[in-house]
Amino acid sequence: MRTPFVAGNWKLNKTPDEAETLARCVVDAVSGVTDVDVAICPPFTALERVSSVVCCTGVGLGAQNMYWEAEGAFTGEVSAPMLLTCGCEYVILGHSERRQFFGETDDTVNRRLKAALSADLKPIVCIGESFDERQANVTEQVVETQTRGALDGISAEDAQGITLAYEPVWAIGTGLTATPEQAEAVHAFLRRVLAQIYDEDVAQGIRIQYGGSVKPDNAAELFQQDNIDGGLIGGASLEADDFAAIVKAAI
């Protein structure tokens, strides 16, 4: 039985002061919720402040990206050991905005993933097709290639600590959501791919979140699907009450 997992991706939003306030509201709004893993992922500059708020509350802390080297001449990058010193438990990797705007590829996602796992961070690996790819009926090929590329060389044991996030690019921040049936079909397909890469047991243990315009009014129907194990939430995670309602929809 997989525990649902709902994570908030705050993207490029919130100063440290604002982040601390929002984190306090999230902690209050989800207090008492059990049987769902919850995490919030503020920008790097707010990680330490948010860490002091969420520490020991049951709300986990995640970063939105990291580099694969631990230190060195890599201007502008942040490493896994640095995230650990800020109190991070999770890290989002390969978000479509990173792929679209910052040149991330399946290979660089794979390198980041290996470094995150070596550092004992829990990765959330994002995959998803563009609007054109869905129109061209190549969604399955696209998400299979991204999944196999990200997981290349990752052992079955390590794979069980990974969360996959299926995020159709056309649904991110657009207000368009995949229907529960569309999302479930891709999630079920991904689980078959995971069973081919590893085995059925491993595939059944890996959580697959859905992301793309999840809101309080559509979350429950999405999360009720057999292969949808919670969500990666962008816009709606910036409102504590909306985020908490989405978390509660995963119970």
- Residue ranges in contact with ligand PEP by CB under 6 A: 9, 167, 172-173, 211-214, 232-236
Cβ proximity to ligand PEP, 93 vs 116, nearer residue? 93
Interacting residues of 188 by C-beta distance below 8 A, sequence separation 6+:
226, 227
Residue 85: closest CA among 63, 58, 114, 53: 63
Per-residue b/e over 120-140, b at no fewer than 16 CB within 10 Å?
ebbbbbbbbbbeebbeeeebb
Of residues 42 and 234, the one with the C-beta less far from ligand PEP:
234
Nearest distance in Å: CB 175, ligand PEP: 8
53 neighbors 27 (Cβ within 8 angstroms) = yes
Active site residue 181: no
Determine which one of 20, 89, 95, 97 is catalytic: 95
Judged by beta carbon, residue 40 or residue 198, the one nearer ligand PEP is: 40
Residue closer to ligand PEP (CB basis): 49 or 99: 99
Beta carbon nearer to ligand PEP, 136 or 176: 176
**What is the rounded distance in angstroms from the CA atom of residue 214 to the CA atom of residue 9?**
12
| Nearest distance from C-beta of residue 215 to ligand PEP, angstroms | 8
Q: How far is the CB of 230 from ligand PEP (least distance, A)?
A: 12
Distance from C-alpha of 128 to C-alpha of 170, rounded to nearest angstrom: 9
> Which among 20, 89, 129, 167 is annotated as catalytic?
167
Query: C-beta of 231: minimal distance to ligand PEP in Å?
Result: 8
* 95 classed as catalytic: yes
Q: How far apart are CA 144 and CA 142, in angstroms?
A: 5
**Angle of CA points 32, 173, 9, to nearest 5°:** 40
Minimum distance between the CB of residue 189 and ligand PEP, rounded to whole angstroms?
Answer: 19
- The torsion angles phi and psi of 185, rounded to 5 degrees, stand at -60, -40
Hey, which residues are catalytic here? 95, 167
